[in-house]
Amino acid sequence: EAYSAMGWIQYRYEWNFAEGENNFMKAIELNPNLPNVYMWLSTIHTVRGNTEKAIFYAEKAVELEPAFSKAIENLVSTLAYNQKCEQAVELFPRFAQYMTNQALRLEVEGNILSICGRCEEAFSILLEAKKLSPTGRVLAYSAGYCYAKTNQTEKAREELLVFDKAKFNGISLFGK
C-alpha cells in the first residue's frame, strides 16, 4: 500500500507518470489484488496514448471489483478516451446499477457522450445533471464543448462562467 500511495502522489500531484507507474507496478508485484492501482495505471496509459495497456488495466480493475462504481466509471472513460465509444456506452446500464449518486452518474454519462461526439444525446443528460449540480465543472466543460461543436457560441460562453466562479484547488479545474 505504501508503493500505491507513493505512485498516487507521483502520478496525480507531481505528474511524474514514469515514477508513478514504477511504484504502481511494485505495489501490484506485492499485492496483485488492488483495483485502485489498476485504475490509476489505466489513466497513466491513456494519457500516454497506450490504448491497449490503458484498457487492459481498466478491465483488470473491474474484474477484481465488479461492483466498484469508480472502476466501472474508469473503464467507461478509458474506452471513450481511446475511441471505443460504442463499448463505453454499452456499459452505461452496468455503471448505473452501481452508481448511487444520480448527479454523478448523469455527469459521467453526459461527459462520455460529449467525448464521443454524440452531443445531441449528451444535451438532455447534461441538462438533467445540471439541475442536480448547477455549478459542476465537468458538466460545464462537457456542455460547453457540445454547444461549441453545434455552433451555439453564446451558450458555450455561458458555460465557461462556471470556471470563473469555481474555486481552483491548485491541482485541476475538475478537482472537487
Q: Please compute the mean of the pLDDT values over residues 83-88 and round it to a whole number.
A: 95
The pLDDT confidence band at residue 165, using thresholds 50, 70 and 90, is: low
Q: Please compute the mean of the pLDDT values over residues 20-42 and round it to a whole number.
A: 96
Which grid coordinates belong to 123? Answer: 444535451
> Is the per-residue pLDDT at 151 higher than 80?
yes
DSSP state string for 107-163: HHHHHHHHHTT-HHHHHHHHHHHHHH-TT-HHHHHHHHHHHHHTT-HHHHHHHHHHH
C-alpha to C-alpha distance for 9 and 89, rounded to whole angstroms: 31
Q: Please compute the mean of the pLDDT values over residues 25-37 and round it to a whole number.
A: 97
Amino acid 171: pLDDT: 46
Q: Is the pTM value of this prediction over 0.75?
A: yes
